[in-house]
Amino acid sequence: MALEALRLCLDRGRDIQAALDRALTASPAAGPGDAALATELAYGYLRFRGRLDFLLDTLLAAPGRTSSAVRRILGLAAYEILFLQSVPAYASVDWAVGIIRRRLGRTMGNVANAVLRALVRLDGAPLREDYFRERTAGDISFLSVWYSCPPWLVRLWIGAYGREEAEAFLRASLCVPPPGVRVNRLHPLGAELFRRLEPLAAASSAWGMALGNWPDFLDEAVSLGQATRQSFATQRILDSLEPQEWPEPVLDACAGRGGKTFLLREAGKTVWASDVNAFRLRQLRAEGLRLGLFVPAFLSPGQGPYPLRHAPRTVFLDAPCSGLGVLSRRPDIKWKRTGRDCRQLAGLQRKLLDSAAGLLPAGGVLAYVTCTLHPEENERQVERFLRDQPAFHLVCRERTGADSGLGEFFYGAVLRKR
């Protein structure tokens, strides 16, 4: 299942969670334990793929001639051997060698057997920094391999944030982010649920929290509309932009599935939702039914035109972005995204911002949020907007700190039209 999910993700371009859902659905006989292992393997492999590939290069006699399919099987087995103590090493070797022999013959099976047994003999050495520092040339190469991140991204972060903060971002990208929950304050049982969750919180705000673990009883609460799964870092960036001060109505112009739309609605704001994707809007409407809340939603590009009789007083842009701030939750992004993608997304963001500027009346607010760590999409994007749109001034801007402990990083800015 993990192999199929990775094939769909890396070869067919699906998001890793969608790929995993598809692979699990195609295996109805799999039990909860099988699904949990497949999830751990798929996400773990993607988080550590760079380090695993480097190890395989040192152990393979001809790494350049080894197919991507074989490397993926070897990489999954290597992840099990190094990071999953609950799986005996011999079992990892056995299944990987068996698959390769069945698909590619005995010779490749023997190669796989030799490589994985050599890895087992290394014992815990590949878990130590010095093992990789001694085998890489220069700081960028070491950081790229040890933190399993493409070199271009390592250079970008060091240039933008300095080495110390860049390394903190790299370190966070390898960690599993804490599960987040937002309690529906408008639900009759919301306050009671929040009190029940408080002892489990690693961090909390008025109606949201990061949890040490996701308790079983919370699944039912979510299904009944009492709460929503949502990253606490997401909730915190919106809180820092003080949405209670935004004039209404608020147009969420890139609403997607409605995660932030309903956060604003639960906070008492009058919200309209728009998105370019009809499927996401159907999901948004389903989310409203689950929560017992209604938000007018319509299909429209983020830059308009909008089928509105009256102008909004606030435009909220949860802008399409490179996603480099949420690699801990979406580790597939770092193996798909390129510098060219980032430049194209910055161009789209510029159009969205300029369109929103023309939509707002005097005194209107433009709130801009991304889930990336890229100055061209964040600070420089806002600076460019202020130069080109002198009618606006900056009210505030925030960025998740490297020391937040949440493993995800967001940028947000609020601009007001004079």
Annotated binding residues for S-adenosyl-L-methionine: 275, 318
Closest CA to 205 of 242, 169, 177, 173: 242
Q: In whole angstroms, what is the distance from residue 208 CA to residue 236 CA?
A: 9
Q: In whole angstroms, what is the distance from residue 184 CA to residue 200 CA?
A: 17
77 close to 98: Cβ distance less than 8 angstroms: no
| Contact residues for 151 (Cβ-Cβ < 8 A; gap 6+) | 140, 141, 144
Tracing tokens 């801990």 back to the chain, one arrives at: 328
Binding residues: 275, 318
In whole angstroms, how far apart are CA 144 and each of 126, 140, 200?
15, 6, 35
Residue type (1 letter), 382: V
What backbone phi and psi angles, to 5 degrees, belong to 214?
A: -90, 110
> Is residue 371 annotated as a catalytic residue, yes or no?
yes
Which helix (H) or strand (E) is 138 found in, with range?
none
Q: What is the dihedral of CA 163, 169, 171, 177, to 10 degrees?
A: 170
| Contact residues for 338 (Cβ-Cβ < 8 A; gap 6+) | 152
177 close to 406: Cβ distance less than 8 angstroms: yes
Cα end-to-end distance, the chain, whole Å: 55
Which helix (H) or strand (E) is 180 found in, with range?
strand 180-183
- Of the residues 9, 175, 371, 396, only one is catalytic, namely 371
Largest CA distance in the chain: 73
Tracing tokens 């004079």 back to the chain, one arrives at: 418
Q: In whole angstroms, what is the distance from residue 147 CA to residue 173 CA?
A: 8
- C-beta atoms surrounding 301 within 10 Å: 15
Q: Which two tokens stand for residue 13?
A: 């371009």
308 close to 302: Cβ distance less than 8 angstroms: no
- Measured in whole angstroms, the distance separating CA 154 from the mean position of its chain's CA atoms is 18
Instruction: Provide the annotated active-site residues.
Output: 371
